Structure 1
Amino acid sequence: MQLTIIGAGAIGGTIGAHMIRAGHDVLLCDADPAHVDAINRHGLSIEGPVENFTVPARAVSPGDLPERLQHAAIAVKSHHTDAAAELVRDRLAPDGYLVSFQNGLTADRLAAAVGAERLLVSFVNFGADVLAPGRIMQGNVGTFRVGEPAGGEITPRVRELVAALPYAEATGNIMGFLWGKEAYGAMLYAGAVSDLSIADSLEAPEWRPLMLAIAREVLAQAPVKPEAFDGFDPGDLEGSLDRLVTFNRNSAKSHSGIYRDLMVRRRKTEVDDLLHDLAGPLTTYTGELIRAIERGERTCEVANLRLLAAYERAERLGRPLDAVVTLFPAPSRAPEGPLHGVPVAVKDMIDIAGHPRGNGNPWSMRTEPAAADAPVVQALRAAGADVFAATSLLEYAAGAVHPEVREAMNPYDPRRTAGGSSGGSAALVGAGVCPVALGTDTGGSIRLPAHYCATVGFKPSHGALPLDGVEPLAPTLDHVGLLACDIATATTVFSALTGARPVTRAGAGIRVGVLPGQVDRVEVQPDVAAAVRQAVDTLRGAGCTVVEVDGSVFDELDTAFPPILLYEAWQEHGARVGADPGHYGPETLRLLRSGSEVGEADYRKALALRERLLPAAAEVYAGIDVLLTPAAPFVAPATTPPVDTPEGAAEGMFTGVYNLTGAPALVLPCGWSADGLPIGLQLSSPPGTDMDLLAVAAHVEAAIAVDVRRPASI
């Protein structure tokens, strides 16, 4: 057979060399002059574990192709398809045909150049790489199928071609093989953003949900029945991963061609064609990461795979909980730092460049995007974190849901709220989507969702994390803080954001203060009281000294909270309430309007009361390391009660005082209710002792050692 192969690289060169050795008349065409010259001078060599041989061969550059081609094959990368098709368009003999040896869905583009009736399509799954000009490594013998693009009958010309090709077989469903390869190829693309081998990226349990999800995403788009090959079976994706690991471990080709294009050859990949052919979020996130690597903004490393896995969990777990507002493809970040590659979500009232500050409000979500990151987001990126998601919240962090914006629900019971107002951040961390998220806290809006969602919720000292670029509610009470999977993560992130060094603290001798009668209050549910009591008993048994302290000053201080909150919220929102009340949901509107009833004199009186009581509040900590209280009186309710209702006031009865004092306070899990809902306890310490609080909290967390439970949403 006479065949001209356009693209004499890994696939085209391997096929051509085998055909030449079998006695066929093969002309090779390649755009690399060094490759063409080496083939003409020294022949074409195939090396590796399959065979080692060299054949004399003829090679030309595209400009030297003969005017007439009886049979032609295209084996170029898919993004070079159009240029290769133009070379063939007017050269193909009237009774000749063109065959594709390509990855990807290029049949329509080739048919446009030569006519559908003169096109054959093949599926090639060799593991091969160009080692040097004139030298190709063949790593394995994979599946090779040839068929008519329309499917159905196996025609004489297919049989003729199959007889001439190495390892080839005919098929009546060639597009089914190509769609199977699209799914497998999407997994290879995902793995290629790391520096792991193909086998390692497919084998590690950490990446398996991602690999399965991206394959399913592609297969769901197939217009034909996808076919199995080389261990990949569309009907058994779980088993496919094990078989593909074995197949690739037995191949001399350890990394995909995408990875080699990115890191070895430093050239354009086929990613644009991947994104053109396929829809779906995971292929899009993968493609955008590859584009970022092509631009030099990233390098192939496991951190990219960790980010892709976070995207997969956000789609699978976060979106059903209504915790996700937006996911950001290939977010910009420093190439290294203490938070290198840590996926971080951000509450959607903190500025993220290019994204509107949504505020849990449908009108705000349609405003102009932020021109720059808030300083706290800038600090995350500078530390190497991947700011990958904006999370949902209660409207303007004011304690109520806008009717047109769905409330974030609880990963441990999706029929219940994740809490507010930082519920989306808590839900993502609680569901295991990401290890940490930013939230804000004006009266408990970080700590209450942490209690509901079995996460750590850390409200630092007032001003420890900057409020610039953050939607204000009540500025003297507002805090930026963290929702985290554990104390160690909260400590690492807070240290990276502030430059404060973690504190080393011995566990023995920690003095824990408790306020007498707190767990006996009528608002506290029995399960919550029992869990907090058990935690205190456990700490005693672990060598902590537990002492009762007089916290009556907190009760007096709490009376200042409503007038300060309401007055300051009215100052922030009053003008818009008057001009456009329809901007707000009814519950938020009611709360804000109640702020108009607080006069400046009452506000100044509340501020003066706070100022007068702060020294006495600081004295509560004399002789203790931390103060321990319940986080909230009840477990997650069906929905967040508005702050100006009796239920809302009860919800924040243990948290709001630390917004008044500005003292650091955190919530960590301490137990479970009878129906499996999380329960947290709260620790606080004097203002400015954030790292000391985190150090003590780490010992408390270890001593309590709450059993880890799988969220219902997983």
Structure 2
Amino acid sequence: MLRDVQTVVIGAGAVGGTVAAHLVEAGEDVLLCDVDPVHVDALNAHGLRVVGPVRELTVPVRAALPADLPDRVERAVVAVKSHHTADAAALLRHRLAPEGHVLSLQNGMTTPALAEAVGADRVVVGFVNFGADLLEPGVVLLGNVATVRVGEPSGPVTDRVRAWARRLPWAEATDNIDGYRWSKEAYGAMLFATAVSDLTIADALADPRYRPLMLGLAREVVGLARAQHPPVRLEAFDGFDPDDLEGSLDRLVRFNRASAKVRTGVYRDLAVRHRRTEVDDLAGLGGRLTGHVVAVVRAIERGARRCEVANLDLLAAHERLERLGRPLHAVVRALPAPARAADGPLLGVPVAVKDMMDVAGVPRGNGNPRAMLEPPATTDAPVVARLRAAAADVFATASLLEYAAGAPHPDLPEARLPVDPTRTAGGSSGGSAALVAAGVCPAALGTDTGGSIRIPAAYVGCVGFKPSHGVVPVDGVTALSPSLDHVGVLAADVATAARVLAVLGDVRPGAPRRAVDLRLGLLRAELDDPRVEPGVRAALEAGLQRLVAAGVTLVDVDAAPLQALHPTFEPILLFEAWAEHGERATADPTWFGPDTDRLLRLGATVAPSTYRAALDRRAALLPAADAVLDGLDGLLGPAVAFVAPTGTPLLDSPEGELEGLFSMTANLTGQPALSLPCGDAGGLPVGLQLAGRRGDDAGLLAVAAVVEQVLVGSPRPGPGPRRPGPVGGHAR
């Protein structure tokens, strides 16, 4: 057993080692205590060496394992990670001299655990922001000189606070130590986010893609501090100013670029040491956005993820989900740190899924408040499983019209149009469309029975692709009308839609096409339909003129063979919808909202013979419908006759019938079709529908890429595959 000692430093790592070296150099009697026997042996054999641009220093020290601490300690410095506070407190519970006290030099709010062990009046708190790291046993890197403050938890500056301010390097006394600690929590939230990537601190903070994320994290913690009772008076330090977070980012980038310590200690714990971090402290704050950071850190800790930029892409998507998606009523549930493959073609791509698809651990909500309370799915739908296997982050479930039947439940608001939230984003995949159009994520899954992907895509101004019937599996997805149901993609651009379709339905990329080689059929009767709003028609005509100018050949085609199919739509849809949901509607008439219930009950009036006749009629008409595409690369027409209305019209209303007039055909034929942005009418997006031959989804996507290029120019690039960077470097 060692003799009694004046100062024990518990935790001989980055902060504890740096402080101990300065105390020993000043002539103080110091004993270092650490759980790592290799580090303890190196300290006793060779002393403590401090290296880096600040100064080079080697001092002889004494070090011990916790079991070898002396029985009596005059004062103690606790510099362990916050999650080891209880162990450090237990060491001091019966060792601290009656007149002694403890100085905490830790991140986080660790005072209560220490106070419980030694008494609240015997704890002093330090704030440390210099950049240090334990490089190897016995060697500490000191990367910069930064703010150090000491204060009483209760506030007033006391003699013992002044004494510590004299002892510690670069320290000053303060009467507002909580103000510094909470500001460090806000800055620390950003540092935790940088640690889940392989970027340096400065590079992550400087990247414009992640600026809203960093600001969102800081704002959340600042808000939590100011919501305390009484509110915390936050302090500025080393470039971080809680009253100027925008400017703080730029200053913190400069501060960290000047430091020899380029990554955080959290990163080193995760990527190099593969050990637990201090993330429980961040979790204790209880913030929604910080909670997503906590989930990613914990996933890396348990080996489910690695430190890479794809994690920052996910966190940035969560920030946009909260800031942009929730106000549009587009979000049902955020999914923190979702399971996925370590690598794949969609690595770094966050994807939302319509809340009628099975996501393991999540109820299939179906746009119905009672369904949202049912037991969670135990497995993923195949489309969700395929996304995960391709390394996509399935990070949210998106809102929809109730059971995709064409009406919102009265207790749930429908998703709103990003450019004009007074208007609907459309149905039934409106939540998915709104998230893509708002820039929350580059892709989202939807379903389409009569236009439920393409209609909202047209309203919001994104790409909405319905594949050929049967190309993408619908297992694990709530059915409405199985012979008409499709799972498809809403995306920021055609290229992103193609990437996702390649995963969902094994749709291989088609050969690139040129405008001058395209021959497209124009459904003139649809464009000239007097029910098409003049502004919509004008936007479409302008788009067609651009296509002709680019060299595309447009040929007017007879829409009659396609329109002949339309009378079969309603009996097929209604009969199959009642077959799917009639039992529940009958057993519990209150389950569905009144509009959905009424629509479903219309199916009970469709006789089986009428349904079979509609199927037969459709089958007889399909060859003529297919022949419309002979000699053509695709068919063009309006996606919807009007721009986004204030609310989704009911399916059996005149407006509802008109809404799906041009989109239902592709559900009856089973051919692939998509809506592309084509200008605007009065500032509201207009969609152009492009349809292809059944089974040739890749060919249609290749044609759509050319049409998109002509109509909107080079689409904005979506996030590409992310590859892991090198592991290593200095960390905090």
* TM bracket, shorter-chain basis: over 0.9
Equivalent position of 1:172 in the other structure: 175
Distance in 2 (alpha carbons) for counterparts of 1:213 and 1:690 = 40
Question: Which residue, 185, 190, 196 being the options, matches 1:187?
Answer: 190
- 1:246 paired with 2:277, answer no
The gaps in structure 1 that reach 5 residues or longer are 710-714
**1:188 alignment partner, SS class:** helix
Displacement of 1:126 in angstroms is 1.2
Give the match for residue 506 of structure 1.
Answer: 513
Q: Which amino acid aligns with 2:97?
A: A
In the alignment, which residue of structure 2 is the partner of 1:690?
697
SS of the residue 2:224 aligns to: coil
Q: Is the 8 A contact 1:391 1:425 kept in 2?
A: yes
**Any idea what the Cα deviations from partners look like across 1:126-185, whole Å, max 9, x if unmatched?**
10111111100000011000000111x211111111111111100000011000000000
Matched, 1:215 2:218: yes
The answer as to 2:266 corresponding to 1:258 is yes
Rounded Cα–Cα distance in structure 1 between residues aligned with 2:713 and 2:513 = 21
Among 350, 367, 373, the alignment partner of 2:380 is: 373
Contact 1:349/1:470 (CA < 8 Å) preserved in 2? yes
Could you say which residue in structure 2 is the equivalent of 1:703?
710
TM alignment of 1:392-431, pairs within 5 A: 392-431=399-438
Deviation at 1:200, TM superposition (A): 0.5
What is the alpha-carbon distance in structure 2 between the residues aligned to residue 707 and residue 30 of structure 1?
58
Equivalent of residue 269 in structure 1, options 277, 285, 288: 277
Determine the structure 1 residue equivalent to 2:340. 333
1:20-44 CA-partner distances (Å, limit 9, x unpaired)? 1111221111111111111111110
What is the alpha-carbon distance in structure 2 between the residues aligned to residue 605 and residue 558 of structure 1?
A: 14
Letter in structure 2 aligned against 1:570: W
Match of 1:4 among 4, 8, 11: 8
Q: Which structure would you say has the larger RCO, counting Cα contacts within 8 Å and 6 or more residues apart? A: 2
CA distance in 2, matches of 1:57, 1:464: 70
1:113 to 91, 113, 117: 117
Distance 1:641 1:487 in 2: 28
For the 8 Å contact 1:202–1:208, the answer to whether it is kept is: yes
Hey, what does 1:712 align to over in structure 2?
A: none
Which residues of 2 match residues 51-450 of structure 1 at below 5 A?
51-151=55-155, 153-222=156-225, 223=228, 224-276=232-284, 278-450=285-457
Aligned equivalents of 1:53 and 1:563: distance in 2?
85
TM-score by length of 1: 0.98
Q: CA deviation at 1:12?
A: 0.4
Tell me the CA shift for residue 458 of structure 1.
0.2
Offset, 1:293? 0.4
C-alpha distance in structure 2 between counterparts of 1:29 and 1:521, whole Å: 83
- What 5-or-longer segments of structure 2 have no aligned partner? 717-732
> 1: distance between equivalents of 2:266 and 2:443?
31
Tell me the secondary structure at the aligned position of residue 220 of structure 1. Answer: helix
Distance 1:316 1:233, change over 3 A: same
Shift of 1:707: 9.8
Aligned counterparts of 2:394 and 2:405: Cα–Cα separation in 1: 25
Partner Cα distance (1:576, 1:387) in 2? 30
Q: Counterparts of 1:439-478 in structure 2 under 5 Å? A: 439-478=446-485
1:207-263 per-residue CA deviation (whole Å, 9 max, x = no partner) reads: 000000001111111131111100000000000001101110010000000000001
The answer on whether the counterparts of 1:519 and 1:529 sit within 8 Å (CA) in structure 2 is yes
Q: How much does 1:264 deviate?
A: 1.2
Q: Aligned AA for 1:502? A: P
Q: Partner amino acid for 1:483?
A: L
Distance 1:382 1:163 in 2: 57
Displacement, 1:266?
1.2
SS in 2 for 1:433: coil
Q: How many angstroms apart in 2 are the aligned matches of 1:693 and 1:425?
A: 22
**Paired amino acid for 2:185:** E
Could you tell me how far 1:706 is from its partner in structure 2?
6.2
After superposition, the C-alpha distances for 1:348-387 in whole angstroms (9 at most, x for unaligned) are 1111111111110111111111111111111111111111
Question: How far apart, in 1, do the equivalents of 2:673 and 2:513 lie?
Answer: 20
Q: In structure 1, how many angstroms separate the alpha carbons of the residues matched to 2:248 and 2:534?
A: 49
CA contact (8 A) 1:514 1:549 kept: yes
**What TM-score, normalized by structure 2, do the two folds share?**
0.95
Is the Cα contact below 8 Å between 1:671 and 1:706 reproduced in 2?
Answer: no
Report the CA distance between 1:186 and its aligned residue: 0.4
Q: Is the 8 A contact 2:409 2:592 kept in 1?
A: yes
Whether the 8 Å CA contact 1:7–1:29 is kept in 2: the answer is yes
Q: Distance in 2 between matches of 1:71 and 1:367?
A: 56
Q: Distance in 1 between matches of 2:463 and 2:407?
A: 23
Give structure 1 regions of 4+ aligned residues with deviation exceeding 6 angstroms. 706-709
- Residue pairs, 1:669-684, within 5 angstroms: 669-674=677-682, 676-684=683-691
What is the letter of the counterpart of residue 69 of structure 2? L
**What is residue 27 of structure 2 aligned with on the other side?**
23
| Counterpart for residue 558 of structure 1 | 566
SS in 2 for 1:264: helix
Structure 1 pair 636–706 and aligned structure 2 pair: CA distance change class (3 A) = farther
- Distance in 1 (CA, whole Å) between partners of 2:431 and 2:472 is 20
Quote the Cα distance in structure 2 between the aligned partners of 1:491 and 1:708. Answer: 13
Q: Does structure 1 residue 490 correspond to structure 2 residue 493?
A: no
Q: Which residue of 1 aligns with 2:730?
A: none
Which of 548, 570, 574 is the matching residue for 2:556? 548
CA distance in 2 between partners of 1:578 and 1:92 (Å): 73
> Cα deviations across residues 389-445 of structure 1 (Å, max 9, x unaligned)?
111000010000111111111111111100000000000000000000000000000
Deviation at 1:522, TM superposition (A): 2.0
Work out the CA distance in 1 between the residues paired with 2:123 and 2:302: 35
Structure 2: distance between partners of 1:163 and 1:21: 14
Instruction: Please give the alpha-carbon distance, in whole angstroms, between the structure 2 residues aligned to 1:5 and 1:555.
Output: 83
- Counterparts of 1:76 and 1:607, CA distance in 2: 72
- The one-letter code matched in structure 1 to 2:613 is K
Q: CA deviation at 1:556?
A: 1.3
Tell me which residue corresponds to 2:611: 603
Q: Partners of 1:400 and 1:527 in 2: how far apart?
A: 26
* 2: CA distance, partners of 1:708 / 1:294: 38
Pick the aligned partner of 2:46 from 42, 53, 58. 42
Q: How far 1:71 moved relative to its partner?
A: 1.1
Q: Is the contact between residue 182 and residue 222 of structure 2 (CA under 8 Å) also seen in structure 1?
A: yes
Alignment CA distance shift 1:708-1:702 (3 Å): closer
Deviation at 1:504, TM superposition (A): 1.7
Report which stretch shifted further, 252-261 or 332-341.
332-341
Contact 1:670 1:706 survives alignment (8 Å)? no
| Separation (CA, whole Å) in 2 of partners of 1:273 and 1:234 | 20
Q: 1:340 corresponds to which letter in structure 2?
A: L
Letter of the structure 1 residue corresponding to residue 412 of structure 2: V
Aligned match of 1:571 in 566, 579, 584?
Answer: 579
Q: CA deviation at 1:267?
A: 1.0
1:329 maps to a residue whose letter is P
